[in-house]
Amino acid sequence: MSSVFTKIINREIPAYIVAEDAYNIAFLDINPLSEGHTLVIPKREVDYIFDLDDTTYSSLNLFAKKVAVAIGKVTKKRIGTSVIGIEVPHAHIHLIPFNRMSELNFANPKLKFTNEEFLEIAAKIREAFG
């Protein structure tokens, strides 16, 4: 069965997509630690990020850098990265805007945004990504 993220890639379920290229896609995390918290994933469905072949891994990380720069322009914050992967078995990098280290703690309560708020931040990041 495809992962929930493959369903997003295939547009079978909705997501707030902020960037895409031939091999990767980025969309807002629906349970964000901060505004602009984004997931970057390879289109190839592989569970564990360190099982990715070198080409896919490199492509993912270069793509994540471009997305992080766009998020930084919009949020005016530094972007932290995390790789966890205990919930969704499809490799992904979390890009998390932050000011204080405590904001990067995954044990923190997740923020709630309305659909309109998610749409607005996604549109801004898309525009900054170019």
> Coil, strand, or helix at residue 121?
helix
Do residues 93 and 83 lie in contact, with contact meaning Cβ atoms separated by under 8 Å? yes
* Contact region with ligand AMP (CB under 6 A), list: 48-56, 63-71, 72-80, 81-89: 81-89
Q: How many residues interact with ligand AMP (rule CB under 6 A)? A: 12
Cα gap 98→41, rounded to integer Å:
21
- Binding ligand AMP (rule: CB under 6 A), the pick from 84, 111, 119, 123 is 84
Do residues 58 and 44 lie in contact, with contact meaning Cβ atoms separated by under 8 Å? no
Q: Does 43 bind ligand AMP (CB under 6 A)?
A: no
Phi-psi region of 67 (alpha: psi -120 to 50; beta: other; left: phi over 0): alpha
Cα gap 67→65, rounded to integer Å:
5
90 is catalytic: no
- Binding ligand AMP (rule: CB under 6 A), the pick from 1, 76, 87, 112 is 87
* Contact region with ligand AMP (CB under 6 A), list: 27-35, 53-61, 64-72, 119-127: 27-35
Q: Which residues bind ligand AMP (CB under 6 A)?
A: 4, 15, 27, 29-31, 39, 84-88
